[in-house]
Each structure stands twice: as structure tokens, then as C-alpha cells.
Structure 1
Amino acid sequence: TVDEAGFITIRGRAKRFAKIGGEMISLAAVEALAGELWKGSLSAVASVPDARKGEKLILITEAANATRAEFLAFAKANGAMDLMVPAEVRVVPKVPVLGSGKLDFAGVTKLVRGEEELKVKAA
């Protein structure tokens, strides 16, 4: 969550980090920003390999008109690091969740990486 002073409180799995350009970026913190920006729409982040920076972030969201530019502006306005801005924002009909209603992190990663593999094969 993001409080009134702009501080982000991270709750969740300790292993959900991406290493981008030598910096450790919390996927939960990126998801918290998306949750504040697109209230009422479920969003999730996964990392994929990147030749230049090691990893890059892909955010999937149910927010119908979500864009990377909108996320970038919101992140900057809230003092987030540039590395917390996903390389891509993809709108999906449904973000994978478990029967408990919690995010299905494995499903999110498979969805994002599956699309990545299709892009590579098509290129």
C-alpha cells in the first residue's frame, strides 16, 4: 500500500523481486502502485529475461484503458524509482487467481512468459 506521505508498505512473499540493472525491485511494490492507480482492477507483475538489464517487468491488469505512460506518470508523481515502471503494460480479460482469491503468481508468470515466447518465435 502507499500511504499519504508516499511511503510504500510491502506485504507478501520475500522472493518476489526482479534484478534490473543491478537493483533489486520488489514486484509487490510495483503491484501496490498499480493498485493505487487503477483502484478496483486487479493487476500483477512478472519478470522476464532481458539481454540489456538482466530482467524486465511486464504488468498485466484488468484495467480496461491502462497504459505504460499512465503508470509512468503516476509512479513519478509518487516518487517511485524509474526501474519500478514496467517495460510493458498489458490489458488482460482476467488476471490469474487461486481458489482463495489471491494472485496466482505461477499463473501470472506463465501467462507473461508464454506471451514472451510467442513474440520471440514470431520474430
Structure 2
Amino acid sequence: MHKGSCLCGAVTFEIEGDLSAPDACHCSKCRKHSGHFFASTDVARERLAIKGTENITWFQSSEKVRRGFCATCGSSLFWDPPHKDWIAIAMGAFDGPTGTRLNKHIFVADKGDYYDIADGLPQNQQ
């Protein structure tokens, strides 16, 4: 069982089972949503239990994706393609160790100019 929350605790979540290896998205939308790149893990919807859903504000950031954040403290929590059977959860929202390691970087062609990616992980331009 993995648990997590937003900064103020108005939104909490629990996930049954292991987490998949997270990736880091460097696209401009993820950078604006999170303040840097967005590291997240994909979780099957049936394994996720969220409390405080009334405190989540959803922003439709594209035709196929919405982003969820706490309406009280503003914490970036979710990247949600509603047409899929999974949802991405921000790695920074987890309480305690996750037992995962970053797997890859995506959309590195859009990364910010103020940092380098030098961890040796795969880098996808898109």
C-alpha cells in the first residue's frame, strides 16, 4: 500500500500494490503545471482510492488530458487521460519511500534551459 497527499492534506490517496517506474516529462505544459519537470507514475484506476475529491480542481489542459490539483493548497497531483484505464500521480505527493527509480525522460526537446539532464537515463525527444 502506498499513500500520499497534497501539501495541506485536503486530498489524500492510497494505491494497492507496487508502483510502476516513473518518468519525467519536460514538456512546457508539465513544467508550468508543476514548476519544473513532472515526475509521475501511472496507476490503474481500480487500484487508486482518493479521499477529498471535492477538493480537487480539474483543469482541461488539452483535448485528451486534464490535470488535477488541490483547490486549497495548489499542489499538483494528477495527470489524467479520462479515456484511459490509468491515471498518472505526481511522485512528490507520495508519503515515504516508493520503492521506485526514475525510468526515463520524455519531451526533452521542450525542457527548460536552466538545467541539464545528466543522470544517464533514456531521453525521448517527444
Structure (1/2) with the larger strand percentage: 2
Structure (1/2) with the larger helix percentage: 1
Of structures 1 and 2, the one with the larger relative CO (CA 8 A, separation 6+) is 2
